[in-house]
């Protein structure tokens, strides 16, 4: 049989990995597909010294690939959501299947892209867009297809997890670890996407659509980053038996769907609390299967290439007939997506870690306790530390039971109005993940 003809746009971290692994595993891949996968053209502004492109045509205009009549599958690995969107939509118009690792593109423009792909009868694969090499999209879309998914949660940004792990384990500074993550090719072109939780929110948006059968709604995701986290809170969390992780959480409730990314305290003995470095893990809870966990490298050259190539193989296998309908892009048949409200963050429910920095006056603790009790917020545990030397204030560390965020916000406003308060209250959400 004739080889499947592929063009790769972008030869950076992921493009380079894809090019090399396709070459290295060519024989085994063709046994899996029943045909060879041939990279006909590669387009990149910069060459990748790790790739031997001597036998491949290299062009600098990505549209040379998109408009090449010989190419059947366009692999978009340049990133961003402007040129990448043009590449993907034009490839679809030209009747080509598309594979991309671009979560920003899918989370923001996926509804439009999938609609066009369906009209043109082509597939769009994006396994690499969420949790890098972990086949979590396939797991939810296919492996868990018999379940009603209740919730999913996870560590879905490798750069952020690498930073938090190195800070906790080795006491390294935030900036120092971020620079290393950039050098290793983990970070986005704009690393604030990693640090501010935008990248995780892109991925969570995609996972929620696939899990719950809802359109992609990135703009409604609540996003909080890790830049404000202090070593003090990391240490207090440890003292309480918790670790701080940057978690994405999507959960069905009677009111709608929680869609939120923020730093979260997790009991130190939970599996997710022990996912370190660039590793990602996603826990998915279905009504039939219960909780399942998917773990692996969330970023990097070859782990991400692994997912890109799996999608190329899927496309190659399905190319024979009606590809868009065999496995629908958002897991549910188009026209079957339902409208559920995405909840505002103050309607979401979780437990809370609060650090209150107060003057060391008699009666402060009673005032604090009363603010919680009049709002019906139950306190799970409390630590009152010795007065801190510099300003004589005492840190009061509290863990609450689960409560709607609006009530915690009211309590924080009341706390911050107390004369005894020395600084803004630090609030981090807590999830037991049991």
Ligand X SMILES: N[C@@H](CC=O)C(=O)O
Ligand Y SMILES: NC(=O)C1=CN([C@@H]2O[C@H](COP(=O)(O)OP(=O)(O)OC[C@H]3O[C@@H](n4cnc5c(N)ncnc54)[C@H](O)[C@@H]3O)[C@@H](O)[C@H]2O)C=CC1
Q: What is the set of active-site residues?
A: 203
- Beta carbon of residue 158, minimum distance to ligand X (angstroms, whole number): 4
**Does the footprint of Na ion cover residue 127 (CB under 5 A)?**
yes
User: In the complex with ligand X, which residue's Cβ is closer, 122 or 207?
Assistant: 207
Sign of the four-CA dihedral 231, 237, 242, 247: negative
**Phi and psi (nearest 5°) for 44?**
-160, 145
Nearest to 262 by CA among 358, 156, 395, 390: 156
**Does the footprint of ligand Y cover residue 79 (CB under 6 A)?**
yes
- Beta carbon of residue 131, minimum distance to ligand X (angstroms, whole number): 7
Residue nearest to ligand Y (CB): 12
Backbone Cα Rg of the chain: 24
Instruction: Pick from 22, 37, 75, 78 the residue near ligand Y by CB under 6 A.
Output: 78
User: In the complex with ligand Y, which residue's Cβ is closer, 128 or 412?
Assistant: 128
User: In the complex with ligand X, which residue's Cβ is closer, 121 or 277?
Assistant: 277
User: In the complex with ligand Y, which residue's Cβ is closer, 88 or 433?
Assistant: 88
Specify the 3-state DSSP secondary structure of 133. Answer: coil
Q: Which two tokens stand for residue 31?
A: 């046994």
Give the distance from CA 195 to its chain's centroid: 12
Cβ atoms of 380 and 400 within 8 Å: the answer is yes
**Is 51 annotated for ligand binding?**
no
- Partner interacting with residue 398 (select from ligand X, ligand Y, Na ion, none; CB below 5-8 Å by kind): none
**Is 271 annotated for ligand binding?**
no
How far apart, in whole angstroms, are the C-alpha atoms of residue 288 and residue 121? 33
Nearest to 44 by CA among 12, 89, 83: 12
- Partner interacting with residue 45 (select from ligand Y, ligand X, Na ion, none; CB below 5-8 Å by kind): ligand Y
Site for ligand Y in 29-68 (CB under 6 A): 43-46, 62
User: In the complex with ligand Y, which residue's Cβ is closer, 83 or 227?
Assistant: 83
How far apart, in whole angstroms, are the C-alpha atoms of residue 6 and residue 71? 6
Binding string, residues 89-108; x marks residues near ligand Y by CB under 6 A: ------------xxx-----
How far apart, in whole angstroms, are the C-alpha atoms of residue 241 and residue 161? 19
Binding string, residues 177-216; x marks residues near ligand Y by CB under 6 A: --------xx-xx---------------------------
How far apart, in whole angstroms, are the C-alpha atoms of residue 326 and residue 224? 37
- Beta carbon of residue 67, minimum distance to ligand X (angstroms, whole number): 29
DSSP secondary-structure letter at 122? -
Specify the 3-state DSSP secondary structure of 112. Answer: helix
Q: Which two tokens stand for residue 387?
A: 């007065």
Residues that bind ligand X (CB under 6 A): 132, 157-159, 186-188, 194, 199, 298-299
- Partner interacting with residue 127 (select from ligand X, ligand Y, Na ion, none; CB below 5-8 Å by kind): Na ion
Question: Residue 99 to residues 6, 72, 107, 233: CA-CA distances in angstroms?
Answer: 10, 11, 15, 41
DSSP secondary-structure letter at 218? G
Instruction: Enumerate the known binding-site residues.
Output: 9-16, 103, 188
The binding site for Na ion (CB under 5 A) comprises 127, 130-131, 134, 307
Instruction: Enumerate the known binding-site residues for NADPH.
Output: 103
């Amino acid at each position: 049989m004739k080889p499947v003809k592929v063009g790769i746009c972008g030869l950076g971290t992921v493009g380079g990995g894809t090019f090399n692994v396709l070459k290295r595993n060519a024989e085994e891949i063709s046994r899996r597909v029943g045909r060879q996968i041939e990279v006909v053209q590669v387009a990149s502004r910069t060459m990748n010294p790790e790739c031997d492109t001597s036998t491949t045509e290299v062009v600098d205009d990505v549209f040379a690939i998109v408009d090449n009549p010989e190419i059947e599958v366009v692999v978009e690995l340049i990133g961003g959501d402007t040129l990448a969107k043009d590449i993907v939509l034009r490839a679809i118009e030209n009747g080509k299947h598309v594979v991309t690792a671009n979560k920003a593109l899918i989370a923001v423009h996926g509804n439009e892209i999938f609609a066009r792909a369906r009209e043109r009868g082509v597939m769009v694969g994006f396994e690499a867009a969420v949790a890098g090499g972990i086949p979590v999209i396939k797991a939810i879309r296919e492996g868990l297809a018999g379940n009603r998914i209740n919730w999913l949660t996870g560590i879905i940004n490798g750069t952020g997890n690498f930073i938090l792990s190195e800070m906790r384990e080795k006491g390294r500074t935030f900036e120092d670890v971020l620079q290393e993550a950039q050098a290793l090719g983990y970070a986005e072109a704009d690393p604030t996407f990693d640090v501010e939780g935008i990248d995780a929110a892109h991925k969570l948006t995609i996972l929620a659509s696939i899990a719950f059968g809802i359109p992609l709604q990135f703009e409604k995701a609540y996003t909080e980053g890790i830049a404000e986290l202090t070593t003090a809170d990391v240490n207090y969390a440890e003292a309480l038996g918790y670790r701080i992780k940057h978690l994405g959480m999507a959960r069905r409730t009677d009111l709608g769907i929680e869609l939120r990314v923020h730093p979260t305290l997790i009991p130190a003995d939970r599996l997710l609390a022990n996912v370190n470095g660039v590793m990602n893990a996603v826990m998915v809870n279905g009504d039939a299967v219960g909780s399942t966990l998917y773990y692996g490298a969330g970023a990097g050259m070859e782990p991400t290439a692994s997912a890109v190539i799996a999608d190329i193989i899927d496309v190659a296998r399905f190319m024979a007939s009606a590809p868009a309908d065999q496995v629908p892009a958002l897991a549910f048949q188009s026209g079957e997506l339902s409208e559920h409200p995405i909840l505002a963050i103050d309607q979401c429910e979780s437990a809370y870690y609060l650090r209150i920095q107060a003057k060391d006056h008699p009666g402060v603790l009673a005032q604090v306790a009363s603010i919680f009790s009049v709002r019906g917020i139950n306190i799970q545990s409390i630590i009152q530390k010795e007065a801190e030397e510099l300003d004589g204030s005492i840190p009061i560390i509290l863990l609450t039971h689960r409560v709607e965020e609006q009530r915690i916000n009211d309590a924080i406003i009341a706390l911050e109005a107390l004369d005894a308060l020395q600084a803004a209250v630090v609030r981090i959400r807590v999830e037991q993940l049991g």
